[in-house]
Amino acid sequence: MKKILYLLILLSAFSCTSDQSAGKSSEKTVDNSLVRIETSIIDEMSEGNTLQKTVAYKILENRKLQVLMYIPGDLKPGEKRPSVTIFHSGGWFSGDYKNMKPYAQEFVDRGYITFSVQYRLARTDKLITIEECVKDAKSFLKWLYINEEALQLDREKIIFSGFSAGGHLAAATLFIDEFNDEAGLEDIKPNGLILFSSALNLDLDDWAKGLIREDQDIIALSPSHRIKPTEAPTLILHGEQDEIASIDSIYDFQEEMEKAGNICELKTYDVNHGDLYKNKEIFQDSISESEQFLIRHGFNWQE
């Protein structure tokens, strides 16, 4: 029953289409899979207009993974900006990166270079599992580092964010060193996290356990069990009535973060799992809380 409820809530918040591109690619890659951008993003912009562009960031044997970029219209040549990366929801097995536009638009309107990221979706036959989802999220972080000059990114102000399963992936990039498709990822971390209704303790999640193989360890993929000291602050926005990722699991996560000496701020709402997205008033408040968090911790871009 819980699995069915999980599906209904997530599918009502976001559609479950998928964008896959198969075949060989002509893009120049690094580490055999990550795409290098050859020209500055500023060259494609028209003055004053936000640029939205979809590009491949990772090329696998039979498909490309895409990212939808939102570039602020007032970005100047040579200027470095902070960025916000968003991972979509869908229980790791469904969802669409293009459906995160409401969040992306709010951040780009505030001057942040913003990315909405596609990742491989887990399958019930377990040919693709949550482990591959984590690998793709970590690949995207390295893609940002590879292309920081072309994208005019401030590498000290890279924020990862996500909703539900996407929040799990954002947190995984900070706390989990394993599960890498590329070398050198142990030393590359986001500078902060903003987590919306996120699944952080996978040991309590029967649905997640059904999306890994018997030879995989759910604890190894669970951010709540992998917390370690970090300078990256975290903001969690969560519903007190959440029936998918319980508020108690979030309180436990915050407690363990504080024991490790980490900054972990929590804003709760008297709503269920999908309401942070569906309730317009709460959505706007969560964006305002996110903006203030970014300012408090020095991730704003205006002097």
Predicted confidence (pLDDT) per residue in 121-161, tens digit: 999 899 999 999 999 999 999 999 999 999 999 999 999 99
**Exposure string over 92-102, b if 16+ CB within 10 A, otherwise e:** bbbbbbbbbbe
Predicted confidence (pLDDT) per residue in 105-124, tens digit: 999 999 999 999 999 999 98
**26 pLDDT higher than 80:** no
In a domain? residue 181: yes
Q: Average pLDDT of 4-11?
A: 42
* Angle CA 117–239–122, to nearest 5: 35
- Specify whether the CB–CB gap between 292 and 30 falls below 8 A: no
* Number of compact structural domains in the chain: 1
Tokens of 109: 């309107």
d(Cα 223, Cα 173) in Å, to the nearest integer?
Answer: 9
In a domain? residue 190: yes
In a domain? residue 226: yes
In a domain? residue 303: no
* Angle CA 243–176–124, to nearest 5: 55
pLDDT at position 32? 65
pLDDT at position 6? 45
**Could you list the residue range(s) of the whole structural domain that residue 178 is in?**
2-296
Residue 209's CATH number: 3.40.50.1820
Question: Which is it for strands 51-59 and 64-71: parallel, antiparallel or unpaired?
Answer: antiparallel
Residue 115 one-letter amino acid: F
d(Cα 256, Cα 251) in Å, to the nearest integer?
Answer: 9
Q: Average pLDDT of 22-40?
A: 70
Predicted confidence (pLDDT) per residue in 171-230, tens digit: 999 999 999 998 888 889 999 999 999 999 999 999 999 999 999 999 999 999 999 999
In a domain? residue 302: no
Predicted confidence (pLDDT) per residue in 250-270, tens digit: 999 999 999 999 999 999 999
pTM over 0.85: yes
* Mean pLDDT over the full length of the chain: 89
In a domain? residue 301: no
Residue 155 burial class via C-beta count within 10 angstroms: exposed 0-12, middle 13-18, buried 19 and up: middle
